Structure 1
Amino acid sequence: MTFGFSTTAAEVATAFAQEITGKNVLVTGTSLNGVGYETALAIAPHANLLIITGYNLERLALSEAAIKREVPEANIRGLLFDLSSLAAVRKAAQKVNAYSEPIHVLIHNAAAPIGPFKLTVDKLESQTTTDLIGPFLFTKLVAPKLIAARTETYTPRVVLLTSIFHEYAQGFDFADIEYPDPAKYEPFKAYNQAKSAIVLLAAELSRRSGGAINGYSVSPGVAFTNIQQKPESFEIFFSSGIINSDGNPNLANFNWKTVPQSAATTLVAAFDPLLEDKPGIYLDDCKEMPIAGPNISDPVLPRQLWAVLENIIGERFEF
C-alpha cells in the first residue's frame, strides 16, 4: 500500500509485520490517548517484547491493561521512570541493561507539556530536559543494548519524535540550554528549539555511530492528544490558535490527524526496511522530507549540540 497523511499505525504495522516479528521494542511516553500509546498498540501484536514507559505507575498500568485487552497475547513489560530527572533516567537504564534481551528499536515519544517556565530537579528547563536531554542520556546509557541487537543484516534503530514546528526555531541558545534563564523563556520558543535539536540529534547519532545504530526523526503531525489537554497548557494552546475556548481542536487553523494516523510515521521510521540505507533522515506523513529551517542547515550545529548535551550529563557519548 501507499502510505501518506491518512495512514494509521496499525496499517503500517500490518505491512511491516515480518520486520516487527521477533523484535524487542521500547517506547517512551505511552499514556492513554497519546501517540506513544497508539504506537505501542500497533506494535504489540507482532513484537517479541514490547517495553512501555511512563512516569506515573497508575497510568502505566492503565496503558498495559488497555493493550492487553486488545492484544491478549502481547508480551509487555512496564518501565517506570521520569525523563525530566537525570537520576531517574540512569536508574531506568540500569534496569534495561539488566534485561536478558537486546533492544532492537528505541522510540523516544515522551514529551513534556508546553507550559509555564519550570525547572527540573537538575535545575534544567522541563521541556528541554524531557524532550531532548533525558532521551540523549537514556540512549547513551542503553546504547550497548541496542548494539547487541545488530547483525550482518540488521541495524538497530532509534526513532525520535520532533514536530512540524521544528522549522520555526531561530537558532540555538546553547548557554540557555545549560543554564536556563526564566527571563528568556517563551513556551513555544523552548518547544521549537527542543524539537529542532531532535532533528539534529537523530542525524548526529547516525553519523557518530558509524553504522552501529540508525537514528531517525519523525513529525507526528497535529493530533488532539493528552498533551493539549493538560491544564497548564490550555492558555498557551488557546492563545496560539491551536485549540478553541471550549478546549477542542481549532479545525480552521490546522489539518488535524487522528491519533492512530499521527503514530503511523513512527512505525515507518522504526521498521521500513527501505530506510536501512538512509540513517539520520527526517520523516513526515510516512515519507522522507527535507529538513526545514535555516537553523539546522549548518553542519557544525549537530557537533555543538552533542558537546553541550555531553557537558550537561557529565559524560561522553562515544561508540
Structure 2
Amino acid sequence: MSSATLPTFGFSTTAEEVVDALASEVTGKNGTRPIVSIYLADNLTSCTVLITGTSLNGLGFETARAIAKRANLVIITGHNAARLQLSADAISKDQPKANVRTLVLDLSSLAAVRKAAAEVNAYSEPLHVLIHNAADTNGIYTLTVDGFESQMAVDHFSPFLFTKLLLPKLLASASTSWVPRVVAVSSEAVYMGPGIDLSLPSLAKPAPGSPQMEYFVRYHEAKSANVLFAKGITQRSGGKIRAYSLHPGTIFTNVHEKEANAVMLKSVGALKEDGKPNTEIFKWKSIPQGAATTVIAAFDPRLSGEGFSSSISHIRN
C-alpha cells in the first residue's frame, strides 16, 4: 500500500486500528526486510519498540498493547516492578503471541536511568523506536534524589539522558528502509503558558511558590520541553533520527484519579465534583483513541522525510 492510499485517521481512530492500517507499509518496501513484524506463517521479523510509563489504564499501556500485536519485541518500563509485571501479564493475555519484556526504570533518579540504559544496550536486539510516554503526575512539589524538581526531571531531564545513552543502539537499527524514531508524548498545554525560563535555577529547581511551581505553569513548561527536545533531535541528527512530539487529546486516565490532580482539574472545571470527566467543556477521547496518535508518530510513513517535530500529529483534540 502506498502512502497515497493510506487511510485518514481521525478523532475516534484507535491505536489498534492504526497498527492494522499501517501493517502493509511497515513491512517494508520493494522487498526490503519488514520493520514491524506481521504473523505470516508464524514467522516473525525484527522490530523492537521501547515505551516508558506503561501502567494499567494509561496511554503507555494501550500503546504497548496495540504495538505488541505486530512487533517482534516490545519493552515496557515502570519504576515499580510488581505493577510493571501486571501490565506485561495483561498484554500477554490479550496478545498471546506478543513478545513483551519488562524493564525497571525510575526516571526520578539519573543513576537509575543510566543503569536501565546499560541494560538495554546489552540486549542483543536492535532498537527501532523509543517512545517517551512516562511523566510525573502527582501534582505536588517534590525534589528527586538528584535535587531536581520532580516534574521537570521525570518529564524531560531523564528522558533526555536516556535517549542520549541509547542513541548508538537506535542509530544501529537504521537501514535503507528505516530511519529510527523517537516519540515524546507532549500536550496542548504547550499553549497554556509563557514558555520556558531556561535559566538553570528556574528550570531545575524552582522555589516553592514561584510562578514555575503553579500547577499548570510547570506542566506547561515540562510539556514544552518535550517539544523542544524532539525538535532538537530532528535538527541535530542530520536526518539520522526522526523525532516527533504530540498532543494525544483530552483523555481520562489513571492520572486523573490522583487526589492532587483531581483537585486542580475540578477547580478549572475539567472534572466534575464526582471526579468524572466534564463533557460539557471538553471533548474527551478514550484511552485507545488517545494512544493512536503515539502509534502514528512511531510508524506512519507519511511523516518520513518531513524533518520536523510538532505538538500536533495527524490526530488532535
When normalised by structure 1's length, the TM-score is 0.87
Q: Give, in angstroms, the shift of residue 239 of structure 1.
A: 1.1
SS at match of 1:188: helix
Q: Match of 1:284, SS?
A: coil
What is the match of residue 175 of structure 2? Answer: 151
Taking a change above 3 Å as real, the CA distance of residues 288 and 254 of structure 1, as seen in their structure-2 partners, is: closer
CA distance in 2, matches of 1:226, 1:250: 16
How far 1:287 sits from its partner (Å)?
4.8
CA distance in 1, matches of 2:104, 2:268: 33
Q: In the aligned structure 2, how far is the partner of 1:32 from the partner of 1:54? A: 11
- Contact 1:265–1:285, Cα closer than 8 Å, also in 2: yes
Q: Decide which of 105, 115, 124 is 1:100's aligned counterpart.
A: 124
1:208-227 residue pairs with structure 2 within 5 A? 208-227=236-255
Q: Partner letter of residue 123 of structure 1?
A: G
C-alpha distance in structure 2 between counterparts of 1:136 and 1:44, whole Å: 25
Q: In 2, distance between residues paired with 1:168 and 1:178?
A: 20
CA distance in 2, matches of 1:37, 1:2: 24
1:16 to partner: Cα distance: 1.5
Structure 1 runs of 4+ aligned residues shifted over 2 Å read 283-289
Asked whether 1:35 is paired with 2:50, we answer: no
Between the aligned residues of both structures, percent identity stands at 51
Aligned partner of 2:223 in structure 1 is 195
| 2:76 is aligned with 1:70 | no
Contact 1:25 1:104 in 2 (8 A): yes
Q: Structure 1, residues 233-268: CA drift from partner, whole Å, max 9, x if none?
A: 221121122211111111111110000000001111
Matched-pair contact (CA < 8 Å) for 2:51–2:130: yes
Q: 1:53 aligns with which of 53, 66, 77?
A: 77
**Structure 1 residues 239 and 287: CA distance shift in structure 2, 3 A:** closer
* 1:227 Cα deviation from its structure 2 partner: 0.7
1:115 aligns with 2:139: yes
Instruction: Judge which range, 16-25 or 31-40, deviates more.
Output: 16-25
TM-score w.r.t. structure 2 length?
0.88
Deviations 1:206-254 (A, max 9, x none): 1001111110001111100011111232211211222111111111111
Name the CA distance, whole Å, in 2 between partners of 1:280 and 1:91. Answer: 31
CA contact (8 A) 2:188 2:311 kept: no
Counterpart of 2:209 (choices 180, 183, 189) is 183
What letter matches 1:76 in structure 2?
A: V
Question: CA offset at residue 171 of structure 1?
Answer: 2.3
The match for 2:301 is: 273
Paired residue secondary structure (1:25): strand
CA root-mean-square deviation = 1.5
Partner of 2:115: 91
1:228 corresponds to: 256
Aligned residues, how many? 289
Q: Distance in 2 between matches of 1:161 and 1:99?
A: 25
Q: Cα–Cα, structure 1 residues 130 and 283, in superposed 2: closer, same or farther, change >3 Å?
A: same
For the 8 Å contact 1:44–1:75, the answer to whether it is kept is: yes
Select 1:124's aligned residue among 148, 151, 157.
148
Contact conserved, 1:217 with 1:283, CA < 8 A, in 2? yes
Structure 2, unaligned runs of 5 or more: 1-6, 27-35, 38-45
